[in-house]
Structure 1
Amino acid sequence: MMVFRAEQLGADRGIQGAFLRAVEGGAQMVVGLDITDEAAEAFLLDPRVMSKLPSVVLFMDGSETLSRELTQLQGGLRPQDPGSWRTALARRLPWSSDGQGLEVWDTVQQLLRRHDSDNFLFVYLVLVNQYVTTVRQVADTTKGFDLQSIFCMVKNCGSKVVGCVQDTTCKSALDCLQACSFNDQVCQYRCIVSYESPLLEQFSLCILQLHNCRNLDAKPPLLPGGV
């Protein structure tokens, strides 16, 4: 990963050259955060520079022009345009490639709104996990329900799913968990404690443990040798 300061990118030809060499050398994504420097904006909006940018580009919390003109996800999806037909379709098809990209965009926005260093770091881990290589800790945390997961639930746990959604307490637990931020374990714990019930326990046991419908890969930690 290479990091460039906006003011240098706007004024230093050596830094500009290094940036261009990086994107021409196979950079898989470009992420810009809180860029307000006008010279840097002009450099990035130069057609000669724009033509060299990779397929995944995100500009956030800075110049609205950069975000509007340059931000795009894999396949050309432009998540910053909520009124487009493609974005609307992606919302309805969360398991599609565009839907997954939109979920990443929403996750990044959610993390940035927390304004702390831990979540700022997690932004980059989420992006690396989605577009570069699997980061297991992130993959298991952010994994949702795709078609394979839904098929697994219907096939193996259909009665448990129906029983839970038809029960007021169990359904409230699911709604509460759905409203939690994806990595907010305190919120998730409160939901489980607040709406704990035998139906929720059976639902969770069937989907998460007996059949692993979310295809999680959480392994127990290994103890040091001799302990």
Structure 2
Amino acid sequence: MSEFVDETEALQTNMEGMKNLSEALGTFNESFASWLYVMNMNALTTDWPQAPTDASYLLAKRRAEEEALAAMEALKAKTEAINREREAQRLADKTALSETTEADLTYAANTTTATTLSSGSGNKSGGAPKKKGAKPKLTAKEKKERSIEIERIITCLPLEFRGSDPNLRRNMEGVIEGLMNAPGNTVKLTDLIKPPDLSQARVNKCLIALVNRKAVQKENNTGTVLYHWQGIP
């Protein structure tokens, strides 16, 4: 009987536990059902006007295409502007080169004719042709200062004169020295021509670079093209 009493008490305890569990599940079911009902009512009664629709996606796609087209047009316009600027610069350089070459050739022809006539007259009169004065020699200090000044000027010129083309750099140094050594720092194109290194085309190219850098001033008011050395401040 004592064992039967113990088993009966254990059964009663288990039944009370089942009852408590049933009450807990009932409470949870009621609360969860209430939450589901509230969510359902909220979904039925609340509008979301800012939610994306199919029209929104189409509009976004159209805007992306328009922005891409605008970027392409801007890039194309920029490229065309750069090409036009380069073409204008090339034509300007070509025109300046043609004008300089034509004027210098005209002057060279006139100078050659006048020299020939003068030589003929001098030979007839028995006089010897005059020799040009010797170029003054520079001291070691002056040569060093001259080299530093020429190097400073060349560093301000385009890359092709700064060492990209060693021959062109050497030609530029010769042209600058010729301008510095000239009386009054004023020369004509033919005064700087010293074949075979300093040809007329090379000298003209160096002078154009110096004129563009404003280290040399070009003057043709008298009908003769003169180049005045200005230097770079």
Fold conserved (TM > 0.5)? no
User: Considering only CA atoms, is the larger Rg found in Structure 1 or Structure 2?
Assistant: 2
Q: Which has the higher helix share?
A: 2
When normalised by structure 2's length, the TM-score is 0.22
TM-score (norm 1): 0.23
Higher relative contact order (CA 8 A, sep 6+): 2
